[in-house]
Amino acid sequence: MGYPASEKEGHGDDAYLSDRDFKRLSEWIHARIGIFMGPDKKTLMEGRVKKRMRHLKIPSFRQYCEFVFSVQGKEETPFLIDVLTTNKTDFFREPVHFEYLNRTVLPGLAGRSGSNTIRVWSAACSTGEEPYTLAMVLQEFVARKAGLDYTILATDISRTVLEKAEQGIYQEEIAAAVPLSLRQKYLLRSRDPENPVVRIVPELREKVWLRRLNLIADNFDISKEMDVIFCRNVMIYFDRATQEKLVQKFYRHLAPGGYLFIGHAESLSNLKTSFTYMAPTIYKKDG
């Protein structure tokens, strides 16, 4: 780590995040990953940045900011992104989405002519619970339809969450949200009673392609058209212009007739888009 140790302990103004440093950090995160942190998020930012300061043994916010914006501070970028993003997720989170997928979307895709592979994208997949939930639902569906297959692209900005998703190992209490019949089929239990974890079976792990992708990039390096995009509980942190741009990019990456699922606290109603509303937080591209 390249941070030059300082003798000076933080005190006085240095012990708090100044308005100026808060502004610099919030502009920095907004420019890099689209997350908008208004003045009401200052305490939140202080708490999260403090974690990095403790780790690096940097005594004051002022010094941490100087470090982040210095040439050596480039290495700090992924760590700061990690602490400033919210990674909360769950298996079968917002379960009505998976019911709609299973009952309405998948039968429609199975009946189409042409491609026999259903392509799903979990954009902002966090630690993997969302793409592995999708994999369970799709695996169950294709098992009943001869000749049908699926693939899941799972992307996130944070390398830390992607590494966790790659391992596919979760505490048993987290996996309790998976219905028992699916748990028995798709989760392997550890033999160590001291460490009650489960691991996603290889059959599902190999269906999920994990990649780092920034949703605010101008273009996504994705060549195949998607049939379904899940982008849940991330747009809520973006401002309106960023949301609109993102939703328009999703529209271009969907096949005609493809679906977009967003989080329950999110909406497209104030955005300029060509999507058709199907059900709460579920939208369709015409075709």
Ligand X SMILES: C[S@@+](CC[C@H](N)C(=O)[O-])C[C@H]1O[C@@H](n2cnc3c(N)ncnc32)[C@H](O)[C@@H]1O
Q: Which residues bind ligand X (CB under 6 A)?
A: 33-35, 85-89, 93, 124, 126, 130, 156-158, 161, 214-216, 232-234, 263
Point out the catalytic residue in the list 156, 205, 227, 232.
156
54 phi and psi, to 5 degrees?
-65, -45
Residue with Cβ nearer ligand X (109 or 123): 123
Instruction: Tell me the closest approach of the beta carbon of residue 183 to ligand X, in angstroms.
Output: 19
Give min distance, CB of 156 to ligand X, in A.
5
- Distance between CA atoms of 67 and 38, rounded to whole angstroms? 23
Angle at 9 between CA 8 and CA 14, to 5 degrees: 100
Nearer to ligand X, 258 or 263 (CB): 263
The residue whose Cβ lies closest to ligand X is 89
Is position 156 annotated as part of the catalytic site? yes
Q: Between 29 and 58, whose beta carbon lies closer to ligand X?
A: 29
Q: How far is the CB of 159 from ligand X (least distance, A)?
A: 10
Least Cβ distance, residue 165 to ligand X (angstroms): 9
Residue 103 annotated as catalytic:
no
Q: Which two tokens stand for residue 196?
A: 């009650």
Catalytic, out of 48, 52, 62, 205: 48
- Residue 14 or 94 having the CB closest to ligand X: 94
Q: Which residues are catalytic?
A: 48, 156
